[in-house]
Amino acid sequence: MDMSNEKILVVDDEPKIVDVVRLYLEREGYRVSTAGDGRAALATFRRESPNLVVLDLMLPELDGREVCRTIRRESAVPIIMLTARSEEADKLIGLELGADDYVTKPFSPRELVARVRAVLRRAGAPAAPEEAISLGELYIDLARHEARCADRPLELTLTEFKLLAALAQNPGRVLSRQRLLDLARGEDYEGLERTIDSHIKNLRLKLAPPGKPGCRIATVRGVGYRLEGAP
């Protein structure tokens, strides 16, 4: 699949970082738009509808957290979060907000380009031969990347959708964090197993909001997670 003509929005308030990232992405054939603050980022996103967003966590005007939240309310476009923080807990912030991947500053531009390529490849991957999954109150349309629970449409990120589909294809079966990471992000992805916990946390809130019927993801301590049918 040729993804070299995809449009990337790069959001960072450091001009040198923006210039370097733009240079490396354009060398690979990507079209690049840029923004230097959160408000400009949202305006550019809405105007240009990019295929992927590279988003700095710390931004003036409107920080990256709020930008990410807003984009997620409007779109499932892949987001790669940039963060200057190195603690594991801080790396999970973007993922908890709905980002699909993260890169910690300082970073190699080549690594970022590789992450962009990998995330776009996952986003454009063809659906599995099975077209739909039905489990209790849960219905997943794999071809359309749509899901419903108790007749409620679920607004899921790409990674959340892949995790939910993997769990639904194995009802009652416990899947380890590493297996879920492989299924959702690809076996060549070198990430933290803990990132799965953040995505599961978000999935649980979407599957069963307080006071509403839904489906349950059970934790099997020391092993992983399994999807249980709706009550």
Whole-number pLDDT of residue 193: 61
Whole-number pLDDT of residue 187: 46
Query: Where is the domain boundary, 123, 142, 164?
Result: 123
Query: Where is the domain boundary, 64, 88, 123?
Result: 123
- The pLDDT of 15-31, averaged and rounded, is 94
State whether 101 and 202 are in the same domain.
Answer: no
Residue range(s) defining the domain that contains residue 178: 132-228
56-76 residue pLDDT tens: 988 999 999 899 989 988 888
**Is residue 2 situated within a structural domain?**
no
- The pLDDT of 75-84, averaged and rounded, is 87
State whether 192 and 106 are in the same domain.
Answer: no
Residue type, 128: A
Query: Where is the domain boundary, 70, 90, 123?
Result: 123
Whole-number pLDDT of residue 128: 45
CATH number at residue 168: 1.10.10.10
**Is residue 139 situated within a structural domain?**
yes
**Is residue 163 situated within a structural domain?**
yes
- The pLDDT of 2-10, averaged and rounded, is 77
State whether 84 and 155 are in the same domain.
Answer: no
State whether 46 and 97 are in the same domain.
Answer: yes
Whole-number pLDDT of residue 192: 57
Whole-number pLDDT of residue 50: 94
Whole-number pLDDT of residue 56: 92
State whether 73 and 137 are in the same domain.
Answer: no
Q: How many domains does the chain have?
A: 2
State whether 107 and 171 are in the same domain.
Answer: no
Is the pLDDT at 3 greater than 70, yes or no? no
Compute CA 100 distance to the chain's CA centroid, rounded to the nearest angstrom. 2
State whether 30 and 117 are in the same domain.
Answer: yes
State whether 116 and 177 are in the same domain.
Answer: no
How far, in Å, CA of 177 to CA of 147, rounded?
22
114-154 residue pLDDT tens: 999 988 887 775 544 557 888 888 889 887 888 998 888 99
132-141 residue pLDDT tens: 888 888 889 8
Least confident of 100-109, 165-174, 200-209: 165-174
State whether 68 and 116 are in the same domain.
Answer: yes
- The pLDDT of 74-92, averaged and rounded, is 76
